[in-house]
Amino acid sequence: MTKNSIYAYLDPRPEKLNQIRYIGADSQNGLRAKNFAAHKHGHLKSLLISCKRLNLVPDIFILEEYSDEIGFKELGDEEEWYIAYYRSLGADLVNLSSGGVGLKNPTAEVRAGMSMGISKAAKGKRKSTESIAKREATRNLVN
């Protein structure tokens, strides 16, 4: 029986110890929550890199578990509810959107990047050796 869940990453860094920083949906029996390398974008990636530099790993806290009978859309709806709830309590979440299936209600930062066409602007430009070295160092920290 597959378990679907809504999970949270708790910040292990001393200055934000055990604060909920990210909320996600997992329809893969816990694999999504445990696969930190799957998170490749935004503030969550930065949080994970910061933790790795300090030899720390966020704790995973299961907010709610569901049977395999819950659909993907319903699980996304639950994720949206939890994100809205914890944001209403003042949680400093690094989620890029309000959750759910697809990119719903992206943050102002994400919207700005999308409108600038960041991927198009960077396409074909030569990267400096320093930029390439930084990118490779970051990849090595995450993997």
In whole angstroms, give the CA distance from residue 17 to residue 12: 5
In whole angstroms, give the CA distance from residue 9 to residue 43: 13
In terms of residue numbers, what domain contains 130?
4-142
Structural domains in the chain (count): 1
In whole angstroms, give the CA distance from residue 49 to residue 33: 16
In whole angstroms, give the CA distance from residue 36 to residue 59: 11
pLDDT of residue 70: 80
Sequential pLDDT tens for the chain (143 residues):
458 889 999 999 999 899 999 998 888 777 777 777 677 777 888 888 899 899 999 999 999 988 777 877 888 889 989 999 999 999 999 888 777 655 556 667 666 665 666 555 555 567 778 777 777 777 666 55
